[in-house]
Each structure stands twice: as structure tokens, then as C-alpha cells.
Amino acid sequence: MEIRHLRYFLALAEELHFGRAAARAHIEQSPLSRSITQLEQELGVPLFIRSRQGTSLTPAGEALRDHARDILTGVERARRAVARIGGQPNALRIGLSEGLAQPRLSELFQCWHRKYPDMQLRISELPSLQQQEALLTERIDMGLSFGAAQEEGLIVEPLWADRIMAAIPRAHPLAQTKSLTLASAAASCSLVFCHTRLKPGLRMQIEALLRARGISPILAEPVDTLAGMIVKVGAGCGIAFLDANHARTLQRPDVAIVPLVDSDAWLTIFAITKDGRQDDLSAAMARFVMLGRNMV
């Protein structure tokens, strides 16, 4: 049983879609399929049910999913132990999801480097679902995102909240206003959202605010990224909502950024860690959370 086969298996077990799993594993779909078939032949049992309705795990596949996580976790722990014995510097591995590129994050990372120069940060970008798997197998130590789907074994802690801003086409009448309510903005135009699969936390927070107001908005065609969302807004396809920090980085002349004045119109950034993890990096993770919360 090869480690790479277990990684491919886990990607498919999480995605339940050969195309998405192949993209996640950075291989073509054919070698992914062959690897899964080889693994099934080696184990002597089917791991997936393939049908016109889609792909699902067999009971044996569900059992292997849990064991695969344990095996891959052991590999990561061994890698860290060997690196430490070999004298490599300590590093806190952080995964960013949902296109997080806020100036405030950059300020937090710079503050960490000044305060804890002996503990490096290794920062990578991971889609939300991949971030959860990487946390559970300890490939990363902490995830930063707008939130995660409920996943057993993870701790989700708020870091800070930013005011929600409305991104409005410059030609739209509301572009001239100084501030808006969520209800008035949502009622004035179609809303541009990112795909739920790609930006689940961001969309989940906005949709919860809309539901609380009894609003069922008209939705424009979804986009993949926050930058793509602003492009669609600039093209006049609708209005979008985003946090104030991202609004600072995505401003453009064809889009007006207008703050929402509702008392609950805030988007929260969360730190996500593996539940029950106790090792040499646990204290560093706690310090990072505290530093993020204390930044003004």
C-alpha cells in the first residue's frame, strides 16, 4: 500500500467526484482511477460504488478513510520529528482558504515575525475542503477562513470580524449613497456570490444574515473567486457583499464600495485547528490565535 495511493484515495473519499479529486491531487483523472483500482485489488474489496447517480463510499471505503487519515497523520508526525532532530527550524504551517488575502492578515504575519523570530510561518493556500483534510492529517497546523462546514475533530475559533461592504456597479443609483442596509442592498439588484463549494464560509455567513431578514434574493451566476466577483459587479451583473479588508484590496473605478450599517453586518475570520492535538506546536498555535485577536 503506497502513501500516494492513500492520498489519492482520501481525495476521492472527500470529493466523491473523480474530476475534482484528480484536480485536488494534481494528477490526471486516468492515473487517479488506476490508482484507486490498484488499491481495491490489493485490499481485495471495493472501496467506492460508481453509478450514474455519482460516486459513494462502500462500508470498507468508510473504514479505510479513517485509517488513511491516521496513517497520513503518522507520516506527518514522523517528518516533523526527523526535521527537528536534524536541526531544521521550527515552523507553524498555516493554510489560507477562500481567497483570504486581507491586508490585516499580512499585518498579523509581520507582527508574528517580529514577536517570534525563532518560529517561522509557512503559509499555503488551500480550498476549504482540502484545508479540513490537511488539518485532520496534520499536514498543516492551523487554517484561516470565513468558517468551515461542521467536521468532527476540528475546533473553530473566531479571530476577528470586519464590517460588511456592498460592492455596487458604478452606474447603479445606490453607488452614490454613503451607507446601506443589507435589506435595501439585496432588494435592489441580483446578488453575485461565489460557488458554495469554493467559498462555503463566506457564503454561509451572508446567507444566514439574509435568512434572518426573510430575504430570498435573486442570484446571478456564481463565480469562483472574490476577484471574479468584483469583475462581475463591475460588468453590471449584480451587487456583491464582502468584508472591509478585502474591499481595500479589490477596489476599482467601475465598482463603488458602500458600507452596511446593520448592527450585525460583520464577517468573521476563524482560526481552525485539530481537536485534541497536543504537541510541540500547540503553544505556538495558541499564541497565534491570541495575537490575531489582540491586533487592532
Q: Tell me: do 166 and 239 sit in the same domain.
A: yes
**Element of type H or E holding 200:** helix 200-212
Q: Are 166 and 183 in contact (CB under 8 A)?
A: no
Q: Are 209 and 243 in a shared domain?
A: yes
Q: Considering the domain boundaries, does residue 262 fall inside one? A: yes
Contacts of 86 (CB under 8 A, 6+ apart): none
Sign of the alpha-carbon torsion through 217, 244, 258, 170? negative
Residue 280 has a pLDDT of: 84
Range of the domain at 71: 3-79
Same domain, 198 and 231: yes
> What is the chain's pLDDT, residue by residue, as a tens digit (296 residues)?
889 999 999 999 988 999 989 988 889 999 999 999 999 999 999 999 998 888 999 999 999 998 999 999 999 999 888 988 888 888 999 999 867 777 888 899 999 999 999 999 999 988 777 888 899 999 999 999 988 655 678 999 999 999 999 999 999 999 999 999 999 999 988 999 988 877 788 889 999 999 999 999 899 999 988 889 999 999 999 999 999 988 988 889 999 999 999 999 999 999 999 998 888 899 999 999 999 998 76
Same domain, 11 and 58: yes
Domain boundary among 46, 79, 112: 79
Does any domain span residue 127?
Answer: yes
CATH of the domain at 74: 1.10.10.10
Task: Please check whether residue 165 lies inside any domain of the structure.
Answer: yes
Q: What is the DSSP letter of 176?
A: G
Q: Are residues 166 and 259 in the same domain?
A: yes
Q: Which three cell numbers stand for residue 96?
A: 489560507
How far is the C-alpha of 10 from the C-alpha of 109, rounded, in Å?
31
**In the listed set 79, 111, 137, which residue is the last one of a domain according to the structure?**
79
CA 129 vs. chain centroid, Å, equals: 7
CA atoms of 8 and 40, how far apart (whole Å): 12
Element (H, E) at 48: strand 48-51
Residue 107 lies in a domain: yes
124 belongs to a structural domain:
yes
Residue 284 lies in a domain: yes
Residue of 198, 187, 181, 190 whose CA lies nearest to 240: 190
Residues 62 and 119 both lie in one domain: no
pLDDT at 149: 59
Asked if residue 190 is part of any domain, the answer here is yes
What does the alpha-carbon distance between residue 51 and residue 42 come to, in Å, rounded to a whole number?
22
Whether the model pTM is above 0.85 = no
CATH of the domain at 148: 3.40.190.10
Number of domains the chain contains: 3
My answer on whether 71 and 108 are in the same domain is no
Predicted pLDDT of residue 103: 83
Do the Cβ atoms of 250 and 230 come closer than 8 Å? yes
Distance CA 231, CA 62 (A): 41
Using alpha carbons only, how large is the chain's radius of gyration in Å?
Answer: 21
Does residue 99 come out as left (phi exceeding 0), alpha (psi in the -120 to 50 range) or beta?
A: left
Looking at the domain assignment, is residue 84 inside a domain? no
Looking at the structure, tell me whether residues 111 and 184 fall in a common domain: no
**Strand 91-96 to 120-125 pairing:** parallel
State whether 212 and 132 are in the same domain.
no
295 touches 107 (CB < 8 A): yes
- Residues 199 and 241 both lie in one domain: yes
Query: DSSP string of 97-142?
Result: -TT---HHHHHHHHHHHHH-TTSEEEEEE--HHHHHHHHHTTSSSE
Residues 109 and 243 in one domain: no
Same domain for 25 and 69? yes
